[in-house]
Structure 1
Amino acid sequence: MADAASQVLLGSGLTILSQPLMYVKVLIQVGYEPLSPTIGRNIFGRQVCQLPGLFCYAQHIASIDGKRGLFTGLTPRLCSGVLGTVVHGKVLQQCQESDKDEDLGSGNVQKEVSSCFDRVIKETTREMIARSAATLITHPFHVITLRSMVQFIGRESKYCGLCDSIVTIYREEGILGFFAGLVPRLLGDIISLWLCNSLAYLVNTYALDSGVSTMNEMKSYSQAVTGFFASMLTYPFVLVSNLMAVNNCGLAGGSPPYAPIYTSWLDCWCILQKEGNMSRGNSLFFRKVPFGKTYCCDLRMLI
């Protein structure tokens, strides 16, 4: 019980601290660029047309809505984090107890010790089930969080309160409105988890020498590195999920002429891929605009 409470408190603290970062990231993901680019130089000394980074973007938001405006959407995001932590812990514990019961069900017959790879598969499967359950339960709060942020673009006040947002979504879109963008988000989480754990297993088993004294530390580092690469590879799923969550929801940021109406998340994926925007919002600091293209700040990032 104490562990769950500490996880909730730690997660809530990190959520509050990272809220401005997520706010800026979401606005960039939907293609909103209110500030003109500037001419700068990259690490090779070559001139590039740079879009404003995280801090300039945050200052722009604060100049309009004040510093409190940087924490728009914090309440539903906190609800999502707390509920997700509780659900994840409960489901994971249930899966672990179920596996223990199966092991004890053989009576006095002792099972052979499973191989390391089998253990990785079992642990990853349990984690996948727990994460998927948490994502499924918390996705409605995630949708409300994104829409309350995106309404900054058109200066709307449609999704201001948590209860009012729930009523609005249910009245206009029904139950399915709470799960807009769920499929690519689930797929991204599952693929990222399996990639991370599989790569970590391969690195720890075949690339690291078991005779090294700092083996445990190196294995923990390899887990972090593989997790980073897995998240990079699955970022398009995150982008598509967020775009589908706000698409055609009655806000300027998710409706024509600012954004097209996507018929499905696959349609969104294909359009982004055709435009070369699959990594939009992935970087918040080094954001360049190629020369030879016209910049339009309120309609599209690039035309």
Structure 2
Amino acid sequence: MADTCGQILLGSGLTVLSHPLMYIKVLIQVGHEPLSPTLGRNLFGRQVYQLPGLFAYAKHIIKIDGKVGLFKGLGPRLCAGTIGTVVHSKVVQVLGGSQKAVEGSLQHVVNETTKEMIARSCATIVTHPFHVITLRCMVQFIGRETKYSGVFDSIVMVYREEGILGFFAGLIPRLLGDVLSLWICNLLAHLINTYAIDDSMSHTGEIKNCSQAVTGFFASMLTYPFVLVSNLMAVNNCGLVGGLPPYASVYPTWVDCWRHLSREGNMSRGNSLFFRKLPAGKMYAIDQKRFF
């Protein structure tokens, strides 16, 4: 119990600190670009037009809503984090008596990854309604709506307008992304630790931890399109300006959303918050000209 409380406190602290970053990322994911591109240089030194990065976007939000505006949607996100930690911990305890295998073996990795996959999936399903409300609170910035405010009022709003299914908009791609990312990360780390790292090397433990972090980053990059599609579907056609035409297309299913983004070449939209290229299909006013 003490461990779970510690995880909740640590997770809540990290959530508060990272919330402005997630808020900006979500607005970029749904395609909200209120600032015109500026002329800068890419990694190779060539002059290119780039969209403003994280700090410029944050200043824009603060200018409109003040510093507190960077924390829209924090309440339901904290609820999701707290409940998710409890559910994950309970499921891990229930699955604790799984079949034994030699530590470090492929079977051990498969067993542990399967247990973690079940625990994460249960936590994701239970907390997804709060995730949906979090995203919709954020997207209200686009149309300046106040439809979603308190956690309880937002729950009532979603149920009244969309029923139970409204709470699980975007759940399938989110689950798929989580599962794929977990398996890619753990199996790739196992291969690296088994065949690329010699146990006789000094600082073997630190090297293996580093390989786990690197494979985790690689897996998250690879499965990012699932995160993007999930977030778009969570706000799509929900009555907010940011999820309705002409601002955004209406997608019957998440597969349609995936295909549309893929055709436009926007599957990585919002993945970077610093070196941001112009998204396909958008027009901006630059030096009194139209730029595609």
Tell me which interval the TM-score lies in, with the shorter structure as reference length.
over 0.9
Partner of 2:218: 229
- TM-score using structure 1 length: 0.91
1:290 Cα deviation from its structure 2 partner: 7.9
Question: Which of 180, 183, 188 is the matching residue for 2:177?
Answer: 188
- Residue 181 (structure 2) pairs with residue 161 (structure 1): no
Highest Rg: 1 or 2?
1
Segment drifting more, 49-58 vs 112-121: 112-121
Any idea what SS the aligned residue of 1:39 has?
A: strand
**% identical equivalent positions:** 70
User: What letter corresponds to residue 261 of structure 2 in structure 1?
Assistant: L
Q: Give the distance between the partners of 2:137 and 2:111, measured in 1 at CA.
A: 38
Any idea what SS the aligned residue of 2:5 has?
A: helix
Gaps of 5+ in 2: none
Q: How many residues align?
A: 288
Any idea what SS the aligned residue of 1:288 has?
A: coil
Query: Where in structure 2 are the equivalents of 1:253-272 lying within 5 Å?
Result: 253-272=242-261
Q: Give the distance between the partners of 2:264 and 2:73, measured in 1 at CA.
A: 29
Q: Give the distance between the partners of 1:39 and 1:63, measured in 2 at CA.
A: 23
Gaps of 5+ in 1: 104-111
Structure 1 residues 75-108: Cα deviation after superposition (integer angstroms, max 9, x where no partner): 00000000001100110111013x2xx66xxxxx
Question: Which of 265, 268, 273 is the matching residue for 1:284?
Answer: 273
Q: Give the distance between the partners of 2:250 and 2:187, measured in 1 at CA.
A: 37
2:265–2:280 Cα contact (<8 Å) kept: no
1:296 Cα deviation from its structure 2 partner: 6.9
User: What letter corresponds to residue 18 of structure 1 in structure 2?
Assistant: S
Query: Where in structure 2 are the equivalents of 1:23-42 lying within 5 Å?
Result: 23-42=23-42
Q: Give the distance between the partners of 2:104 and 2:5, measured in 1 at CA.
A: 34
Query: Where in structure 2 are the equivalents of 1:34-113 lying within 5 Å?
Result: 34-97=34-97, 99=98, 113=102
Question: Which of 238, 242, 247 is the matching residue for 1:249?
Answer: 238
Partner of 1:109: none
Structure 1 residues 36-73: Cα deviation after superposition (integer angstroms, max 9, x where no partner): 11111123221110101001101100110110010000
- TM-score using structure 2 length: 0.95
1:49–1:291 Cα contact (<8 Å) kept: no
**Inter-CA distance 296–93: structure 2 relative to 1 (3 Å threshold):** farther
**Inter-CA distance 242–113: structure 2 relative to 1 (3 Å threshold):** closer
Structure with the greater relative contact order (CA < 8 A, sep ≥ 6): 1 or 2?
1
Structure 1 residues 85-142: Cα deviation after superposition (integer angstroms, max 9, x where no partner): 1100110111013x2xx66xxxxxxxx8587100000000000000000000000000
Structure 1 residues 183-223: Cα deviation after superposition (integer angstroms, max 9, x where no partner): 00000000000000000000000011121021111111100
Segment drifting more, 177-186 vs 44-53: 44-53
Q: Give the distance between the partners of 2:277 and 2:43, measured in 1 at CA.
A: 12
1:288 Cα deviation from its structure 2 partner: 2.3
Q: Give the distance between the partners of 1:230 and 1:296, measured in 2 at CA.
A: 36
1:294 Cα deviation from its structure 2 partner: 3.1
1:293 Cα deviation from its structure 2 partner: 7.0
1:88–1:131 Cα contact (<8 Å) kept: yes
Alpha-carbon RMSD across the aligned residues, in angstroms, is: 1.9
